[in-house]
């Protein structure tokens, strides 16, 4: 009952957040000195065509009426039509969002598999050369700008060594002769599902460099957070008692200590997921990755109001859902946390 009441309360609060974010984004988009109607009909359109388009798009109405109309569209499951592509925005999102999700999920996997184990071992070996190296590694990962790291990775592994592709999501030859049959939009999943191994390895090769660049900050943060939490837990009395009882170090560190130290790290990684959804913009541009960041950048450059507001709304919804899921997972992992 308590969990259901908490979910209801958080859902109502989430609705308020979504309305607020959409209202602010909608208003800011309209402040930009541009004419969406002219963008819609093209630069060579006659004045009467521009005026007709302005009426069709509802731009002749007051701002609050435009916003109320937009909310009504969203509630009906319609995010509007892109001024740039003239396609329904939902159709564009179905095309671009899976690419960003695949990139972000791969980045999160790297952040988790590298940062958390290093943080555990660094805490266990506190004060050692390995611990100092891990702390330096974490600081470097947090401090290095993503765009600089992306350029270095491209220069070393693509241009100099020729091991990995410079950019894109899949090679042209593979897309022509061994195309991936779309199922989920995630190339690795779809290629594995259909047994298209040539496309699978090609898609994986294209994914490695952008995922590494995007995961840098997450690795540093998860390493530092895990190390700090492990140090706190390793000083608890029950850990000292387990050591006195002669339990295996693996059991003490990875079954007893990590269980309590991992909770804050999981919350951080969940929030990092949303951060990387927005931080993927630079990475996608540098690696020619056809994802949501590229779509948003095109929308901004073309003053595509409906697309800008819709992308912001989608990312906010994902943030709200991830935050709610993390709170629930935290209560299941750690019984000391209550849903107040």
Q: What is the pLDDT of residues 86-101, one digit of tens each?
A: 788 888 888 898 999 9
> Which residue in the block uniquely carries the two structure tokens 């709610």?
324
Tokens of 125: 């070996």
Q: What angle do CA 41, 47, 52 make, to 5 degrees?
A: 60
Can you list the domains of the chain with their CATH numbers? 17-75 (no CATH), 100-292 (1.10.3720.10)
Tokens of 307: 């697309």
Rounded Cα distance, 250 and 227, in Å: 16
State the pLDDT at residue 204. Answer: 94
Rounded Cα distance, 199 and 191, in Å: 6
**Tens digits of pLDDT across the chain (340 residues):** 556 776 777 778 878 877 887 787 777 766 666 667 666 776 676 777 777 777 777 776 777 777 887 788 787 877 878 877 778 888 888 889 899 999 999 998 998 899 888 988 888 888 889 999 999 999 999 888 888 899 999 999 998 988 999 888 899 888 888 888 888 889 999 999 988 999 999 999 999 999 999 999 889 988 988 888 888 887 777 777 777 777 777 777 777 777 777 777 677 777 777 778 777 888 888 898 988 888 888 888 777 878 888 888 888 888 777 777 777 776 666 555 555 5
Tokens of 187: 């190339």
Q: Which of 325, 274, 302 is CA-nearest to residue 100?
A: 274
Q: What are phi and psi of 214, to 5 degrees?
A: -75, -25
Could you report the per-residue pLDDT of 307-327, keeping only the tens digit for each?
A: 888 888 888 888 777 777 777
State the pLDDT at residue 34. Answer: 67
Q: What are phi and psi of 336, to 5 degrees?
A: -75, -20
Could you report the per-residue pLDDT of 75-133, keeping only the tens digit for each?
A: 787 787 887 777 888 888 888 989 999 999 999 899 889 988 898 888 888 888 999 99
Cβ neighbors of 127 (< 8 A, separation 6 or more) are: none
Q: What are phi and psi of 88, to 5 degrees?
A: -55, 135
pTM over 0.85: no
Rounded Cα distance, 2 and 127, in Å: 44
């Amino acid at each position: 009952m308590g969990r259901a009441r908490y979910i209801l309360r958080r859902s109502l609060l989430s609705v308020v957040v979504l309305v607020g974010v959409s209202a602010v984004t909608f208003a800011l988009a309209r402040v930009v000195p541009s004419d969406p109607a002219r963008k819609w009909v093209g630069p060579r359109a006659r004045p009467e065509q521009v005026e007709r388009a302005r009426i069709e798009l509802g731009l002749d109405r007051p701002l609050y009426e435009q916003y109320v109309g937009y909310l009504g569209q969203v509630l009906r499951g319609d995010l509007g039509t892109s001024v740039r592509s003239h396609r329904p925005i939902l159709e564009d999102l179905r095309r671009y969002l899976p690419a960003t999700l695949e990139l972000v999920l791969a980045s999160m996997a790297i952040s988790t598999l590298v940062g958390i184990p290093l943080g555990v071992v660094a805490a266990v070996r506190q004060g050692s050369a390995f611990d100092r190296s891990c702390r330096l590694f974490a600081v470097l990962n947090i401090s290095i700008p993503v765009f600089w790291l992306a350029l270095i990775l491209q220069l070393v592994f693509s241009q100099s060594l020729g091991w990995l592709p410079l950019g894109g999501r899949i090679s042209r030859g593979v897309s022509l002769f061994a195309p991936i049959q779309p199922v989920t939009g995630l190339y690795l999943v779809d290629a594995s599902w259909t047994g298209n191994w040539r496309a699978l390895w090609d898609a994986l090769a294209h994914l490695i460099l952008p995922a590494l660049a995007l995961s840098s900050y997450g690795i540093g943060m998860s390493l530092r957070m895990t190390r700090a939490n492990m140090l706190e837990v390793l000083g608890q009395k029950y850990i000292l008692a387990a050591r006195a009882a002669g339990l295996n170090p693996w059991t003490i560190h990875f079954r007893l200590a990590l269980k309590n130290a991992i909770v804050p790290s999981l919350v951080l990684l969940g929030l990092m997921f949303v951060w990387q959804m927005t931080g993927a913009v630079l990475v996608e541009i540098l690696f020619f990755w056809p994802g949501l960041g590229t779509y948003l950048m095109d929308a901004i450059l073309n003053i595509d109001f409906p697309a800008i507001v819709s992308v912001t709304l989608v990312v906010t919804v994902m943030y709200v859902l991830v935050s709610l899921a993390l709170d629930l997972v935290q209560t299941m992992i750690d019984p000391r946390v209550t849903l107040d």
